[in-house]
Structure formats: structure tokens, C-alpha cells
Structure 1
């Protein structure tokens, strides 16, 4: 591989580094991080301003489309050195070709960085992130991200735009599907697990990819649940609810951050010095790089806080943005901004350095092609063990919402089984939103999973009933007749994948189309009905919850959805998942979440002048943390090792959980705390811990939780972080509403170091 200049060789020699683009090493060796700064600084010293701005520019290839097309000449820009990273380009051959063109045609031959939305698997799709979060299984969440990283890296990818760690409490917002739900604590620990899975233990290993914490910040609280819309929250709410998962991401070593589309306190987040410099860099000491979301720099002109693209670029770079995704504004306008003194070249140098350091840590200066290995990809993609992992994660993500008369699990020897609904044979929608490179055509549908699970003597009857969307009821008659012939009906309904995710906000959260009417007609037959729901967000199923005997929330589970659903339907796996987001009774209750404030007039059914609705209960249809099992669990009272603590002590809480049913099972035991009196009002409950335990039938497990002063800390009236003396309630139970409770006292007020 020849270079257009000997300058890069000079940099390498001066730095004393054994690095050469021409070499492809069989042995993976870590880059010398002690020499990283010297190497990167030396390289920056010989770069022109235009070359530096190229490193700050991220363009999409035409391999995949994930937003508005703004540049069709990305290959030409690569060859001119005007682009340092490419996204939506994958496959070992394609990334190899792009990298080769870049190295041969640019003056310095700085390797390209390839990124993509590897959100819940690559070829082997796993459940959507919201579904995975319902497993509350940090080990498996990490494993799922690890598999995704191994597959993606084999196709030349260095970077994923995941995990999305926005707290989301409004299911009208379609991107609730991409996150971990409504809780700060759970969202933070899941963020850490996913980041560790993507990035592994060492970035230089060629089966790891850079993770990206997104969307920074508060994107999940868009007004009216409408994507890209305005956010207007207090600074206290920002710090208490929406920033903690991002701080957790930094603690986990996340390599990159992505800015969000929304504005916050009147400033688009892409131009917020408060978020990007004051908090992220100065307070939290983040040392990776910040990329914008798709064209969000140019969108500042639409927000109305800048007059044109040039000013938007100046505001973004000066606020702390390092890389411009897709708009090309840095390339187009920053040279003039530097000439005018509106942007300092030292600021550009800092951004370039942070980006080049990541390329260095990945080993790309050592071997730019180390990720683009077609032979490795062929051996890696959709390996049998990866499909097994997808199935395992999928069944762990299924929430049993209702099981009247213990209809489930079904008997594999049932004589006649009717399987009805628009999703029975569906493959495309099983993989859900943001499935990226996922091979949906290799998905295993529900019907196939059921056929492989039941006895050869079982007669399986099928009727589609209706389509996802539209008002065609012509299939109802066949569906009703099919149900009437069966002993049991499995009714498979839900959302198509495109009705959740980005740009998929909805004001009506019922089952779409005529599916609600189909459900009612099948229930009218009087047959035992199991409703299997596939969807990317909580749906308003008030009628179904009251009238359908058994309901499984299966979400969009990925390529192994069919077998995983069959595992649960027929009892090969006892469901253990619990909701990480509240199910409202109707859209009018939204936003509704478990840890709201109490108000000065809390609910009282006998008093009109209380905080309540005239036409609906305050309570959700299904609360946060809710999920049933085929067995039953009995909780003892809570015992504390002491009833008061100082700021230098912990309290230990013990509880015994007994499996009183007829199946072995896993239970997610949840611990909540309420601060009864604070200098500012406090939530009615806050999750502070959980344990997922396997308990054989008839046996008991004693669990111990440790409550630390850090668990009691919050942003006090003056916005200092710390604890305040007083009384606290402690709850342990099977969900946020069904709990045992006790009380303890904190004896002192004190500052606490933020975690």
C-alpha cells in the first residue's frame, strides 16, 4: 500500500511506533497507550485544517438509509480526505474496499472509522431493547450486546450507535422500544451492562466495537410523545431523572456520546455548552468524543436559535460537538469561521485528537483492515450458539400479564389447537424496529415454533383473521369457525415493526386496525384463549385485560421469536420477565409511571376534590415491575439488622421468598425506598435494588439487601447532592405495587459524592 506522502511515516518514526498500514498482523497486540498522545499530537501537527475537518465529518454510505439524504458523493469526499468516518456501511468486503480507497487516495492515509446502528443484534437479531430490559438479567443483557459486537465487528464495523439510555415514560413516543423503560436505577445498570458487552474488556481486540450513549439529553420526554419535539423540564428533573444513566455510561467507560435532537431550556442539545462542556467534559471528565445525531447541526436553524448553517456549526463546535453526522457543515463553513476567529483551531485540534485516540485504541493505525475480514465474517455470522443465545434472551424477555384458571402452560398433547392472527406466519415484523442488518428472512415464525413443540398427534388449525392495518373483516368468519373447532386458541396479534421506533409516535395505542374486534369475536366463542402480543411499546388493552383469559407480552423478539414463544406457551420455560415500563389503561393517563410525586391531594375514592380522573382510575393497567409466573411466590415480612443508620453505616434488609406453586421458577425480587420528608418533594417509591433468583417448587430462599447512604441521596433544595436525616419507608416485593414494607431512620444530613 503506497502513501501519497512520507509525512505519516515520519510521524510513526518520531513516535517510535511499530505501525504500518501495509501490514496485516495475524497476532492481535494492544497498541502502546503510553505513546498514544505523542503519536496523535505528532499527526495533528502535520494535518491541514481541511484534513482536520475531514476527521470531524461523518457521512452515510448508500448501503443503508437511516435518515434524509444530504450527500450522494461520499466516495468522492472520502478520496479527498473530507471524511474521517462512514456510517451505514457494513460487510467485510465493502468496508475493506472503502478503507483501501481512503488509504490510497488521501495524503495521510488516516484510517476510516465505520459506524452503524447495531441496536439489538447484527445479523442475529435479539429482542428489542425494551423487551430485553424486562428480563432484568444483567448477565444476559451483556451477553446479547457481546454477540452483537462480535458479529458487527466481523463485518468491518468499529462503532455502534447504541445503547439508547433515554428514560422514557410516554409510550406514545415510538423510541420507547429502544431503551430500558422508565426507571433511573434500572436504566443505569442496564446501560453499564450493554456498554460492557459492546466494548468488551479491551478495545484493541478486533471483536469489540465502540459504544455510544444516546441521546444526550432528555430526548425521552418530548412533549406530547412526539418524536423530535421540544423538551421543557426543570433542572432538578434533568439531574434527578434524565442525566444519571449518562453518568453511569461514563463510569462504564463508554467511548462516545451522541447529542439529541430536542432542545433543552431553550437551546438545542447539539448546541448546548451546558450539557456538552460544563457537565460532560468539566464535571464528568468524559474523555471520548461527541457525535451529533443525524443532521442535527443544520436543524438548529429550524429550531430558530441560529440564523444560518455557518452559525450553527460555530455554536455546535464551540459547545463541545466533536463530529458532525451527515450535515457537512463543519467541512463547508468552519474554515471561514476559523479565519474570522469565531472558532479557534485549538478547539478543532482537541476534537480531532479525541477522535484519533479512539482509532488508535481500536488498533486501526496498526492495521486499518483488522475488522474487515470476510473469512472471519463467514465463520461468525449467525453461528448456532448465537441463535441459541437469541432464543434464550427472547424467552427471558416474555412477560406473563394474565393467566386465569392456569390456562398456561398449554398441554403439548392438546387434541386441536387453533392458531389465529396476522402474526402467525410473519417473519419480517418479528425483528422489530432498528433491526439494521438483521436477517429477518431467517426468522422463525410463531407457527413453526408451535409445530416443533406440540405432539405429532395435535391437529393445528390456522386462520389469519385480518391484516395488521385497515378495516377488512372478511377473514373474521373463517377465524371464528376455526376457533370453534379447537380446544384452545392461541391468538397472535400486535404492531408491525414500523409502528414503533424512530418517527413512529402514535396517539392511539390500541391494537391497530380491526385486531381489537377480532379479539372480541374470538373471545365470544367461549374457548380458552391465549393472546400473544407482539409490539414495540405498551399498548392500551383495557378490554383485553378484563376479558381474555391469558395474555403474553412477547414484544418483538428477534429471529428466534417462534421457538421462544413456544418454549413459554408449552412450559419448557417458566416466564420470569417483569415490565420495565407502566402499561396505561388509556392514552389519557399518559404520562404514568410508578415513581410519581404524591401531590397535596393524593387519591381518595370518596373525595371528589382529589387528584384523580372522573372517568378512569388513577392506577395503571399493569404497574412497573409487574409480571406473573406459572408458579406462585410468597414473601415473608422484612427484617432489618437495625432501624437507624448514620451516614457512615449501612442497613441490611432480609426477606424470605417461598415458591408455593407447582413449578420451579425465577423471581425478580425488587427493593424500593421512599423518603418521607425532604427539603424538596420526593417520589412515592424509587427502585434501589433487585435480585433475580431461581427457587425450586416448595423451597425458600432468604435474600439480603444492603441499603447504603448513597441509596438515599438526592439533589436537595440548593441542588447539592446528599442525604437528609429523617424517616424512610423500605419496600420489598414482586412489583412496584405488591410489596411488604417497613421503616428506618437516617440520623444525619450530609453531602454524598455523586456516583
Structure 2
């Protein structure tokens, strides 16, 4: 270790000698100002710009002894943080270089895509959103933070809160579905879970809400593609989840790849400064996505110098990977494109984040090797993940009550993902230990023990096209393609099915069929899997279809022809056990869809809270000429938003409101009786929707405004109540004023967005 020079001793004394870290936790500026002022007074322009640079860790993953590029840049003060490096030992090595071998000893911030868990993996975010339980959502983020920080990581690039109504888009798997309200609730819960109430604690981490903004509305569902929409739609439908994260105190924001109003988001001053900082009051820092600044060149905004200046002027504080700010900022200042004051502002925000995390007081606080040994992938964490995974599973169909299965007899398990351990976790599970995950075959065997026989056959490959399958598994989660013919695979499966009492068929996608750069134009079950299901049905055996997916699939044929459908998305490291828990009835399914399942891709985009046209299709009609409909299919989806069955039956009755007329700031009380008419206790998500019947601008046919997940015993009736205030009625009008307007409102409560009881009332100013 090199001897710490005198200037570092001076800085350390200045930085430590002010307010306690606990005192200043989660507060921007104020108590950090004097400490940051003292440090920045000693920094050169180059050192300030260095704080804005976020390279990937690269060769540090092989050990510092073999690292040259990144380490030398850290020593030169050209790195503010690193990402994609993990383990407390490696992070300690890198931090030691920053703190003990640089002129000013400024600690690094270490980030990673901890998207749905760290080592203990929870359902993919789309699956997680189907639990409709914010305590569980927050708990999953809390455990993810605890594990990641035990391995040195202080910053996660999560939550991803992009609203998406297009299941062709691969990254729909990373978000919370189609709804603004549900997505906003989840965004806030995730931020609370990651950040806790004290960022200086060694088991909390800084969250980064992404992708700001509108990324989920890419044209044609093609990743990185253009986004173009009105401001009124932005504010009412797509902005709220980002704002909810900001209101929850999120520490950082990531810019999106797409353009907004003809300007790439990374260079949009309107987005990054006017909306985010001036309108919403965000006081954290903004980081680009991977090479986001340089990508503006291909967008057609200018050369490297121009786009670097554009990003800094817009309000970008940290540059992920592209090195554009590092290499171009000084020249941009000399040419008058940006000012040193803008560099100072960005540098200050990065330093503030490091103070909030307590890194100046203890740069090695996240590098406790003992924590890493005892707090990661624990049995208790895995049990929580299993419980949450089971709650995320959505029962779509259970004709003739085939489910729950008996733990006896011979059970045929068939499908290309049924015995694939690597694909259980889903996309963006970068730290997962897949060898310790639970496959579906293992989960079923764990459940039945010696009481039943599990007979396995592959049945088919994931897709018939070998080239497509190789593109799907490009990130190293093998689909284990079988080189036998599809006919041979099917024959083997039919032999197993005929000798069994019941068939469990695992169909759908591989985990990397969705995620970044995994858009699909065809979102139906592949033809070879459908052929397998047709032939399995012909055996006369009861067939349970379990669908793995990272998106809403177009499953019209399956819904019409298969007796039992269970959608499990990708349920995480404990997937196999969680799926078995539901199939055998140890857990009564309670998941509800957070995105609409279309009839076919031609209906896309499809979502429940659409607007009426001037020629709406009359209720109950399949088709009517000169109305808004298709010639070949109904307007209705296969399964609507909020849909999900149970082994219990829930009946809704006695919808009441406190008054048919209210004025001003009065509160409307809504209640409904929900009866479990079955014998088994179950959880039901009671959903409240509102329609603003007449507005100064057109309003959706309904909007989710509340929900409650309740446990109801067999034969029991519970009264579920909601309160609505004028705040719940607000929307952005054509002048982008956030207002509510008097008039008639339809109040709807039900088990999903389609099946509701309704009443109406009038609200005056």
C-alpha cells in the first residue's frame, strides 16, 4: 500500500469532521454542502469530469493483478464508479485503488443490474407485478438489497417502471405491465425496499429508476426503436411510475435509449431538467444507459463532441461506458458548448450520492467478507422467494377441476423446459447461481416424494428453427436443444403420456426469449409445441398446460382447446418448488395478470384502459359494420388485465357507495361484499375502477384506482372498502394542468377489469 499523501489527510479531516452520516441520510445538499465544497475546491476540472465516468468493470473480474486499463484510469482520477463487478473481495480491491492510490482518495460507487433479486432470485418483474401485494414487492427488494450489499454492491439499476402495452417488446418482462396506477405503486414499493429509511446502513442500496422515459412504447415493439406520443398521453399514462419513484426518494435515474419529441432522451433538456428536476423536484443524479451518449450520433444529433455537450447540457450527470464526457467535456467548454458550472453541478450530484451512501465515512462498508459468507442465498431468503413465486402464479383456466393434482399415481412431465435448471430464473438474473435453482422436475419430485411417479419426456424443442433457438440462448442460458427429430421427441412423449394418469406439459418460452434485444413479431406458442399439445390431448389423459413466458402470449388456441392453463412467467431460483406448491394445492393460486393477453398479434397494442372512439362497438356485440372492430376476431382479449382464478370461487355482491352526490373535498366510501363460495381458503385481489364519464378531454373507459388482496376462508364473506377523494379523480388536461372536473363518475369493483359490479354518482366542485 502506498503511503497516503498529505493532501488526502487534509481532505479526510475535512470530510469526516462535519455532521454524522446518520443525521444526513437521504437528504440532498444541506448537511453535505460544506464537505462537498471543501473537496471540490481541491479538484481539477479533469478530476471533476472523472467523477462523471462510469465504465464497465471489464478485466477487474479476472483480478487486479491482470488488470491494466481500468486500474490505471482509477489511479488517474478518471473513474467515478464501476458496474458489473461483484464479490466483496474484488470490490474491496478496486475501492482500495481509488481511496489509497489517487490524489484525492474519492471512493467509487459500485453498481449492478440487481433486477429481481441477487443470488436469491424472485419472479421476473412482470411476474412479480402479478402478486398485487406491495408488502411482498417491497420485501423482495429489501432482501435483494441485503444480499447485494453483502457482496459489495451499493447501487442497483432498478426498478424498471416502463409502462408497456406491446408484448412484442422483449423488455416488457422487466416491467410491471400495462397499468399506470399499479406500476406506480410497485415503483414506490421497490424504491422503499432497496433504499430503506437509512442509506448509510450497510444493507441498503441506492435505487435507479429506469428507463426515463417512455421506453416501453417503442414502435412495433422493436427494442431501442422510436417513441412518439402526445404530451397529454405522457403525463397521464407513461410518466406517473417514474414520478412515483421520484416521490419515494429514488437516488438516481437512468435515461432511456429512445427519442422523445424527436430528441434522444439522453440529450433531452426538457426531460432531464424541465420535467424531472423543475417539475418533479428530483435532486439525485442521472446516469445514461449503456453507451447512450455515443448512440445519439446514429440518431442523427451530431458528432461525439456535439452529443457529449448535448447530454451534459440536458442534465446528464454520469456517462455509462461511452467515455464521451471524459474525452469531450474540456473541448466542449473551450468551444462554449457547455460551462464548467454544469460540470460542477453534475460532479456535486455524484459526490452527494456517495455521501448519502456513507462511502466517505467508510469506503469499505460494503466489503465485509463475513457478511458475504452468511447473508447470501440463505434458506430463509429462498423460502421467501418460493412463497412470493407461488403468489405470482396465475391460474387462467381449470376446466372440470383438474387442479389441484393428487400426489399419487403416475404423472407425465413433458416439455422442453421441464428439466432445464438454467431457464427457471428468467432474464436479467446476472448474479444467479443457476446450479442451485430448482427445476420443474425437481420441484414435482420434491412435492410427491415416494407417493407418486414422475415420468419425464422432452416432447419437442423450444422452437423448431435451430437458428432462432441459438439467438434465443445467446446469453448462455442453454435451451439444451435435442438433435433428434421432432417426430421422435413427440413419439417418446406420447408413450410416456399414455402410461400415466395425468399429463403436466410445460410450454411457452425460454428465459431469454424476452429481455433486452429480444423482441418477437410472433408471440404465439411455437407450432411444434402446439402440435405436441394437440397430440397429448388425443391420448384422453387429463392435461395441465403450464406456460413459461416473459410476456403476455397470444394463446387463443390454447384457451379454447386445453382444459387447464397455468401461467407461471419465470418464477426465479425457487421456481420448481413454487410451481409444485400451486399444482398440488399446497398454495391456492392468487396471482392476477398485470397485462392483457391478446387473441393474436394483430390486436397489439391492447390494454384495458383504452379510450372510446366515436363509433364504439355496442356492448355484447361481436361485430357491427361501421363500428370500431375487426372482421376476423372479436375486440376482446383472451384474458383481460387483472384476471386470475383460484381453487376457491369468489362471488361479489352488495356494491354500495356512501352517497350518490358529493361536493368538493368530500370522501366517497365504496364497499363490496366478497364471498368465498368454495371450501378452501383463498386470497382474492379486489379491484376498484373508475370512469370519468364526461371530461374536457376524452377519458379512458375505466382506470384502476385501488385494490386490496384479502384472505377469505371457505364459506366466509368479507366486506372490502375503499375511499376515493378528488385527488384520485385528477388527470392532466390539454393545458397539462393536473385537475379534476365535476360530473358523473362510474364506480366499478370486481375480480378483474372486465368482470365488475358498477354504480354511478355525481361529484360537484
User: How does the TM-score come out when normalised to structure 1?
Assistant: 0.95
Map 1:507-526 to 2 at 5 A.
507-512=521-526, 514-526=528-540
Map 1:457-496 to 2 at 5 A.
457-470=451-464, 472-473=485-486, 474-496=488-510
Structure 1 residue 702 displacement after superposition: 0.6
Map 1:559-638 to 2 at 5 A.
559-604=573-618, 605=621, 607-638=624-655
CA–CA distance in 2 between the matches of 1:362 and 1:18?
Answer: 15
Structure 1 residue 240 displacement after superposition: 0.6
Residue 717 of structure 1 aligns with which residue? 734
Which whole-Å deviations, capped at 9, do the CAs of 1:433-491 have from their partners, x for residues lacking one? Answer: 00010111111111111112125232222111112122541210011111111111000
CA–CA distance in 2 between the matches of 1:369 and 1:30?
Answer: 20
Residue 384 of structure 2 aligns with which residue? 389
Which whole-Å deviations, capped at 9, do the CAs of 1:400-445 have from their partners, x for residues lacking one? Answer: 00000011101112x1111111111111110100001011111111
CA contact (8 A) 1:540 1:583 kept: yes
Map 1:400-439 to 2 at 5 A.
400-413=395-408, 415-439=409-433
Map 1:148-547 to 2 at 5 A.
148-306=144-302, 308-413=303-408, 415-454=409-448, 456-470=450-464, 472-473=485-486, 474-512=488-526, 514-547=528-561
CA–CA distance in 2 between the matches of 1:248 and 1:622?
Answer: 28
1:657 corresponds to 2:653:
no
Which whole-Å deviations, capped at 9, do the CAs of 1:646-691 have from their partners, x for residues lacking one? Answer: 2211100111101001210000000000011111111000000000
SS in structure 1 of the partner of residue 91 of structure 2: helix
SS in structure 1 of the partner of residue 610 of structure 2: coil
CA contact (8 A) 1:30 1:363 kept: no
CA contact (8 A) 1:418 1:489 kept: yes
CA contact (8 A) 1:421 1:465 kept: yes
CA contact (8 A) 2:11 2:104 kept: no
Structure 1 residue 12 displacement after superposition: 4.0
SS in structure 2 of the partner of residue 666 of structure 1: strand
SS in structure 2 of the partner of residue 636 of structure 1: strand
Which whole-Å deviations, capped at 9, do the CAs of 1:89-109 have from their partners, x for residues lacking one? Answer: 110111011111222321101
Residue 706 of structure 2 aligns with which residue? 689
CA–CA distance in 1 between the matches of 2:31 and 2:277?
Answer: 23
Gapped runs of 5+ residues in structure 1?
A: 20-26, 66-70, 749-755
Q: Which moved more, 1:341-350 or 1:451-460?
A: 451-460
Structure 1 residue 28 displacement after superposition: 9.2
Which whole-Å deviations, capped at 9, do the CAs of 1:307-337 have from their partners, x for residues lacking one? Answer: x011101000001000000000111010111
Change (3 A) 1:64 1:677: farther
Which whole-Å deviations, capped at 9, do the CAs of 1:684-706 have from their partners, x for residues lacking one? Answer: 00000000000000001011110
CA–CA distance in 2 between the matches of 1:218 and 1:476?
Answer: 43
Which whole-Å deviations, capped at 9, do the CAs of 1:72-124 have from their partners, x for residues lacking one? Answer: 93222112111110000110111011111222321101001000000001111
Residue 115 of structure 1 aligns with which residue? 111
SS in structure 2 of the partner of residue 694 of structure 1: strand
CA contact (8 A) 1:28 1:205 kept: no
CA contact (8 A) 1:30 1:204 kept: no
Structure 1 residue 30 displacement after superposition: 5.9
Which whole-Å deviations, capped at 9, do the CAs of 1:590-619 have from their partners, x for residues lacking one? Answer: 000000001011114352111001111100
Residue 476 of structure 2 aligns with which residue? none
SS in structure 1 of the partner of residue 39 of structure 2: helix
CA–CA distance in 2 between the matches of 1:644 and 1:192?
Answer: 33
Change (3 A) 1:548 1:221: same
Q: Which moved more, 1:5-14 or 1:546-555?
A: 5-14
User: How does the TM-score come out when normalised to structure 2?
Assistant: 0.94
CA contact (8 A) 1:64 1:88 kept: no
SS in structure 2 of the partner of residue 465 of structure 1: coil
Residue 751 of structure 1 aligns with which residue? none
Which whole-Å deviations, capped at 9, do the CAs of 1:27-62 have from their partners, x for residues lacking one? Answer: 996668764110011101110011001100000012
CA–CA distance in 1 between the matches of 2:12 and 2:23?
Answer: 16
CA contact (8 A) 2:522 2:601 kept: yes
Structure 1 residue 18 displacement after superposition: 6.9
Residue 473 of structure 2 aligns with which residue? none
Change (3 A) 1:154 1:16: closer
CA–CA distance in 1 between the matches of 2:43 and 2:449?
Answer: 69
Residue 127 of structure 1 aligns with which residue? 123
Change (3 A) 1:549 1:40: same
CA–CA distance in 2 between the matches of 1:73 and 1:140?
Answer: 42
CA–CA distance in 1 between the matches of 2:417 and 2:734?
Answer: 51
Residue 138 of structure 1 aligns with which residue? 134
Structure 1 residue 283 displacement after superposition: 1.2
Q: Which moved more, 1:452-461 or 1:177-186?
A: 452-461
CA–CA distance in 1 between the matches of 2:3 and 2:672?
Answer: 67
Q: Which moved more, 1:638-647 or 1:501-510?
A: 638-647
Change (3 A) 1:410 1:3: same
1:9 corresponds to 2:3:
no
CA–CA distance in 2 between the matches of 1:89 and 1:513?
Answer: 41
Gapped runs of 5+ residues in structure 2?
A: 62-66, 466-484
Which whole-Å deviations, capped at 9, do the CAs of 1:180-201 have from their partners, x for residues lacking one? Answer: 1000000001001111111111
Residue 685 of structure 2 aligns with which residue? 668
Structure 1 residue 399 displacement after superposition: 0.2
CA–CA distance in 2 between the matches of 1:549 and 1:84?
Answer: 56
Structure 1 residue 8 displacement after superposition: 3.5
Structure 1 residue 5 displacement after superposition: 3.9
CA contact (8 A) 2:288 2:319 kept: yes
Which whole-Å deviations, capped at 9, do the CAs of 1:478-510 have from their partners, x for residues lacking one? Answer: 111111111110001221111100000000112
CA–CA distance in 2 between the matches of 1:72 and 1:683?
Answer: 57
Structure 1 residue 13 displacement after superposition: 3.5
